[in-house]
Amino acid sequence: MDRLPPLPQTLDEQLCFALYSTSHAMTKAYKPLLDKLSLTYPQYLAMLVLWERDDIAVKDIAARLDLDPATVTPLLKRLEALGYVERVRSAADERIVNVLVTPEGRALKERARSVPADLFCAMQQSPDFLVRLRADLQQLRDALSAANER
């Protein structure tokens, strides 16, 4: 490993704060786009999971979002109240609750199709930069996850 540079001392020099404040800025950038769909950012993320894989257990949605199932359940209840999903107990094991996308939820996917492009335009960054940034962030996330498991 390379020799570490002098360790940061101020808030603005902290990597953790750069990631934290960028996450907040990203959520704020999504807000006007998702307001048009009557979705919050966490609800949008849950719908992205469900659009990738319908009829999935709550615990699997939580794992995909790196959240606790107890955090995901109220979010899914709100999506169900909006008519976008249906929660059903598994016939094989009643302890398992599966989530299915309704026809309204599939129609929402079509309405949400422009969100990534609209956000991309708002960021005013080159496609190459954003692809590299995402890859770097995923690599950092994986390294931190591995370190946390040790």
Domain locations in the chain? 11-113
Distance CA 9, CA 6 (A): 9
Mean of the per-residue pLDDT values of the chain: 93
Q: Give 13's contacts (C-beta < 8 A, 6+ positions apart).
A: none
Give phi and psi for 10, each to the nearest 5: -95, 165
Residue 81: the pLDDT is 97
Q: 54, exposed or middle or buried, with CB in 10 Å at 0-12, 13-18, 19+?
A: middle
The predicted model scores a pTM of 0.88
Q: With bands split at pLDDT 50, 70 and 90, how would you rate the model's confidence at 82?
A: very high
The pLDDT value given to residue 1: 58
What's the pLDDT tens digit per position in 112-146? 999 999 999 999 999 999 999 999 999 999 999 99
Topology (CATH level 3) of domain 11-113: Arc Repressor Mutant, subunit A (1.10.10)
Please state, for a pLDDT cut of 90, what percent of the chain lies above it.
87
